[in-house]
Structure 1
């Protein structure tokens, strides 16, 4: 995510996420923002290997150091492909700024993801394919063949 020209000094997330395993997001503000009472929230959205994205979830981050470092955790659901996110800075005057202004600026890929005919991640077997998809396809083809043979016999 491009944070140049913002009050955000750094955003830290893992390079990959795992199904059902909690991970941290840490946002570090510059000293001016920390001193003027700026708070941080994020909105995240989990997208599944099926291609469906779940509803976005807004969430406040917390700071234990006077407002410089903000942190929270989230746990991706089973069979997720990636987690999208954007950051919102809230100011004392009631205004806010979201980065990016529209869409999603950050993404944490799953350690076993599927996007169309492409897959990857460090936890996928045999070059990235998901084992359940192969079995499902095989069972489906065998089922269709059995129906076709039965219809031919009638």
Structure 2
């Protein structure tokens, strides 16, 4: 049991190191939803407006409003709390919303909450964020990327990877000590 607990701790502590590939956008399929299309830029630009546009399938009528839940993550590894933006529409078919992206943004996450006339919420995707769009100058904890190099700083590029590596190594050593210690007690 203690070995399993130690392995789970290591997996949790090191999961952010291996979480995803830097610079690769992620998109959720709109199949099975009331949306026909979603349009947006494939790159997030610092301190510029990022806009999405959703078009409903024909025959979708009972929508009260649509919320766009965004989360900006920055190059230091911090993700800001999610922000809810109510989307606008003129014809109840095409819905749009915009957000100004932070200067040090690594990527923008989002999901869609569709609210019907009875206040029933349909979340797309059901859990987590379904979209991740990387900026033009990003740092994923290991390497810099994007077309713009203005966000790269020597301090971050030299110290952060070592910090993450030492944190991961410390977690593995602690897990090993826990396993070794528990083996001696229960044999």
TM-score range, shorter chain: 0.7 to 0.9
Q: 2:109 matched to 1:84?
A: yes
Aligned counterpart, 2:79:
53
For the aligned residues, what is the CA RMSD?
1.9
Output aligned runs, 1:4-153, within 5 Å.
Answer: 4-33=31-60, 35-64=61-90, 66-124=91-149, 130-133=151-154, 137=158
Look up the SS of the partner of 1:17 in the other structure: coil
Give how far 1:96 is off. 1.2
TM-score (norm 2): 0.65
Q: CA deviation at 1:68?
A: 0.7
- Name the TM-score, length of structure 1 as normaliser: 0.78
Q: How far apart in 2 are the matches of 1:78 and 1:91?
A: 35
Unaligned runs of at least 5 residues, structure 2: 1-27, 160-187
Find the aligned partners of 1:134 and 1:92 in 2 and give their Cα distance: 52
Q: For 1:9 and 1:118, how far apart are their aligned partners in 2?
A: 36
Gaps of 5+ in 1: 139-154
Q: How many residues align?
A: 132
Higher relative contact order structure (alpha carbons within 8 Å, sequence separation ≥ 6) = 2
Tell me, what secondary structure is at the counterpart of 2:63? Answer: coil
Aligned to 1:148: none
Q: Which SS does the other structure have where 2:153 is aligned?
A: helix
Is the helix fraction higher in 1 or 2?
Answer: 2
- Asked if the contact 2:144/2:152 (under 8 Å) is kept, the reply is no
- Find the aligned partners of 2:107 and 2:158 in 1 and give their Cα distance: 23
